[in-house]
Structure 1
């Protein structure tokens, strides 16, 4: 029976989780202002900044788990250490696209605005308050929904950390649902999930969407011509008055679209180089002292990293290398299984994204219905309702299909729900921003739906689709991590053969060395894929599928 106290506790836990998400997003935004400014004004900082952010963005969050265990929980300890560990994991999930978006905004600020602040000789603080912060607001608004969804997904998973026989948790909706699930209190768990869904819906439509619309006022288009006109004559014709209102409405919608289209775009290498290809790198903007400071900070970081490796060689790095040497065959086998799952989920995401986005782009009524629904579904973390969804897969379907096949199907579904949104939304942006004139040509030629897809929609959306695929592959590992090893509502633990499942098992039994070794292998593996696959695909998109107006970020 659901009581008022259960609802109140669920609401308070959800608010605590939302507070962590808000704090993490604010820290990401504030730090991004200064890092983005430094990268935009210094070529050396820019090269390091882009390399690090693009690489770490493709690294799954679970690879940072050993850092959390060793530093925050073991060394800091207590509730503070656990709280910082949760916040750090969420920070590594949401920070990269926000940082890159702010960097790009500062990098591409109009030269005329730079000339104005130089002419008025504004101080550094005034420049930030009056120019650099305002120009980043549209990109912050553009990334806020994706970052909010990512933060909720990982914070629900991270609010309970288990290492061996010890469990660490903080007060939040993720810990609450996990606790009630392990105790078999499925009514309370469902109640908490409903409260979370309602709160997420309220935040998305009453806070985040209005913020995105408000951010339109900070949009700047240097190509808008300003003409001097005479006094307006009073409109006496109803037709002219209606036409005037419609024109103003269309202009408003276009302004809102320019701000909201980047909502679903992960700012990766393609978007940066596409936007910055026509703008030369600034030369000599930083003073000599600022360059020396940047060099000194870089050398200090390298020295600290070298010292950390040297001081922990025998206690950390040598055991990791020995573990890899002894178990490399097993690790590669499980890694291959998970890459197969990633491939299946990616193909399924594309298969769903193509028809859904084509319908939304070509049918305004379908778009008006589906787009808000997709936004809300993407913001609800699948990790919160996984124990409930898993019930039929470990009961009825396990009897009919067999437990192994049923669990494999569950893993693929959970991974799909946790990551398909990136392909769907990025492809939507690509199709949505194909010039209207090209759609008119296709209609005038009476092309079939198949030819419109293969000759216009898919090629025109290819750059944005590749961006979405890179984010999808990187985020699928998070979905696999929660689905390959989980505790169902009956209290039993279920596990399939997989790389992230073995990582979860090492965490459960307290094998920190094995966890660190597997995290290192996964990080190196994903980085190599990013370098040799995604960068080549981004280059292919710029070279072969570049269409003026086909992608607007």
Structure 2
């Protein structure tokens, strides 16, 4: 029976390292951790008052200073927004994914709804919610901050939710049976099976979500809706303002600052987490070349594990006691009915009625105002953007599936390339859009083709990161068997590697396609100074409608984009994902 590396064995390195280290080393590690905690809370205390500051007499600013001395402060503000949104996205992913995986009725609504949500562009969310946030926080900059964080959340949450849902429906049957036999409560199962099994792919998708958040940072910090611009201090709005001033030197300084931020986040957060997450791999044996992190080693030597355990045990016991009324794994009400009953029929009829009502309201809002001719034109623009998305996914898969598989399966290669990949994926590609725009203008490159490159800069990483996660999760015993049989390279790829990463590629492909539709908003319209290049497509249609606040056209564009995404997922992605789960699951 396959199983996780047991927690006692996985964590054994921590007390071993601590017991073998000298007293002075343990003391130095404790001091470093204490200083790090103080710096963290000090920075938080420095930033929080500015977030809730009242709006000045001139109202919400529409521009920010491009003085380079402000860059460190702007970077901190952007990082804080990013990780608040990431935490909310993580909570949302766990709740939404669990509901979709555990309830057949909920799944019929939640998964198509998730398709629609990931297809709605960030500008669509902003134009629909900005007024709500400003009303909730009147007279405070917090309203614009909340709108910005919500916009970043919408660029992060969907791929994380797809990842968690995919992990839940692919849990090994023997582990599910073990959870039922042990009569774990639902709370216990969540923390002992659901979260551990999903940790590695979820972690890689968190990295990718941060990269996606950086990609849309400019739109999130320089909010332009209904002919109104609201600017927040941040590195994204700094780049937008510097590009408008045609000051490439200041754009370059922002890029350097961003590179430093990405490297620090990788060193302080992602590298320790990827090393720690190795204990959740399904394997019969421990890795002969485990991942290491200096930060994780310092944390273990400091003894903070013991401190957190003392705090965590009573908290865990409290939640365990209050969640027992929810029942145990495998209890009667959790079992799905195999046949249709009156409840299922009523539920289906209710959904059908709501769908018909929704379609009628959509027709009433759009068609009388725009006319059938323009609605048909919007569908035509959708087909043009669809061709760009298809080409992007095909080329990205051909390039990144082999590279991702090699990185995930080779620990030595992973140590060298993984940080580089994380830096490239986390770097906001639209920061270099001013330079790319200059290149397009100088070489007379048609933006209708160039926009595919711009879309790829922000979305190709979904495929790469999911393939790396899938390859790194292939059990060591299967790798050893392949080596023992002395399989040729082509046969190893055919029988082990490609089947092993196929399910992860499906998840990456779904999220990359959804991200590409979203990225079309900022990739089909690019500008530098007074020069603006506009591609023919659905993304540019929505961007222009949002800028002038044309609500019927915004609704039409978003609705057509949602129709395309849901249809492609239903016709293409879900069938091959079902095939991956049925034939190519290694668990």
The TM-score with structure 1 as length reference comes to 0.71
CA distance in 2, matches of 1:152, 1:179: 16
State the match for 2:61 in structure 1.
Answer: none
- Distance, in Å, in 2 between the alignment partners of 1:33 and 1:340 is 33
Task: Please say if 1:548 is aligned against 2:586.
Answer: yes
Counterpart selection for 2:77 from 16, 27, 30: 16
**Among 315, 320, 333, which residue is 1:284 paired with?**
333
CA distance in 1, matches of 2:111, 2:411: 37
Distance 1:341 1:486 in 2: 16
Asked if 1:486 is matched to 2:535, the reply is no
> Deviation of residue 96 (structure 1)?
3.0
Please say if 1:327 is aligned against 2:374: yes
SS in 2 for 1:171: coil
Query: Which runs of structure 2 are paired with 1:241-256 in the superposition (5 Å)?
Result: 250=288, 252-253=290-291
| Alignment pair present for 1:424 and 2:464 | yes
Question: Is the Cα–Cα contact under 8 Å of residues 350 and 423 in structure 1 kept in the other structure?
Answer: yes
Aligned residue in 2 for 1:500: 539
Q: Does 1:26 align with 2:87?
A: yes
Equivalent residue for 2:252?
190
CA distance in 1, matches of 2:251, 2:289: 46
Deviation at 1:113, TM superposition (A): 6.1
Q: For 1:311-460, what aligned pairs fall within 5 Å after superposition?
A: 318-322=364-368, 323=370, 325-357=372-404, 359-360=406-407, 365-395=412-442, 397-398=443-444, 405-432=445-472, 433=474, 435-437=478-480, 439-440=482-483, 443-444=486-487, 447=488, 453=493, 457-460=497-500
1:369: how far off? 2.4
2:551 aligns with one of 512, 517, 520: 512
Secondary structure class of the residue paired with 1:461: helix
Q: How many residues are matched?
A: 467
Query: For residues 222 and 89 of structure 2, what CA distance do their matches in structure 1 show?
Result: 23
Deviates more, 1:40-49 or 1:335-344: 40-49
Bigger CA drift: 340-349 or 454-463? 454-463
- Structure 1 match to 2:569: 530
1:238 maps to which residue?
A: none
SS in 1 for 2:333: coil
The answer (yes or no) to whether the contact 1:144–1:208 under 8 Å persists in 2 is no
Deviation readout 1:112-139 (Å, 9 max, x if unpaired): 6677786xxx9x9x86997689758836
Relative distance call for 1:206 and 1:167 in structure 2 (3 A) is same
- Cα gap change, 1:437 to 1:146, in 2 (>3 Å): same
Q: Which range moves more in the overlay, 530-539 or 70-79?
A: 70-79
For residues 214-233 of structure 1, what are the structure 2 equivalents within 5 Å? 214-215=276-277, 219=280
Query: Which of 152, 157, 161 is the equivalent residue of 2:223?
Result: 161
CA contact (8 A) 2:262 2:427 kept: yes
Corresponding residue for 1:268?
none
Task: Output the CA distance in 2 between the equivalents of 1:479 and 1:504.
Answer: 11
Closer/same/farther in 2, CA of residues 480 and 48 from structure 1, 3 Å limit:
closer
Q: 1:348 to 1:210 in 2, by over 3 A?
A: same
The gaps in structure 1 that reach 5 residues or longer are: 225-246, 255-279, 287-294, 399-404
- 1:237 equivalent in structure 2: none
Q: CA–CA distance in 1 between the matches of 2:503 and 2:222?
A: 38
1:175 CA displacement: 0.9
Deviation at 1:152, TM superposition (A): 1.9
**CA pair 164-388 structure 1, distance change in 2 beyond 3 A:** farther
1:199, distance to aligned residue in structure 2 (A): 0.6
User: For 1:327-355, what per-residue CA distance to the aligned partner results, in whole angstroms no more than 9, with x for missing partners?
Assistant: 02321222222112112212221221244
**Residue from 257, 263, 282 that aligns with 1:201:** 263
Partners of 1:117 and 1:81 in 2: CA distance: 46
Between 406-415 and 416-425, report the one with greater CA deviation: 406-415
Q: Deviations over 1:49-83 (max 9, x none)?
A: 44533553455545534423564469977744433
Indicate conservation of the 8 Å contact 2:408/2:467, yes or no.
no
Kept after mapping to 1: 8 A contact 2:205/2:466:
no
Query: For the residues of structure 2 that align with 1:350 and 1:106, how far apart are their CA atoms?
Result: 25
Q: Is the 8 A contact 1:419 1:475 kept in 2?
A: yes
1:265 aligned partner: none
- Write out per-residue CA displacement over residues 278-309 of structure 1, whole angstroms, 9 at most, x where no aligned residue: xx9753259xxxxxxxx9xx99x99xx89x97
The one of 77, 80, 87 equivalent to 2:149 is 87
Partners of 1:539 and 1:38 in 2: CA distance = 19
Q: Name structure 2 gaps, 5 residues minimum.
A: 1-65, 293-328, 336-343
Which secondary structure does the structure 1 equivalent of 2:253 belong to? helix
Deviation of residue 192 (structure 1)? 1.4
Question: SS of the residue aligned with 2:230?
Answer: strand
Deviation of the 1:39 alpha carbon: 5.5
Distance 1:414 1:29 in 2: 28
Q: Is the 8 Å Cα contact of residues 366 and 556 (structure 2) preserved in structure 1?
A: yes
Please name the residue that 1:52 is paired with.
Answer: 113
RMSD: 4.3
CA contact (8 A) 1:58 1:470 kept: no
Deviation by residue 1:122-160 (Cα, 9 ceiling, x = unmatched) = 9x9x86997689758836535321222222222333211
In 1, the alpha carbon distance for the partners of 2:446 and 2:107 equals: 48
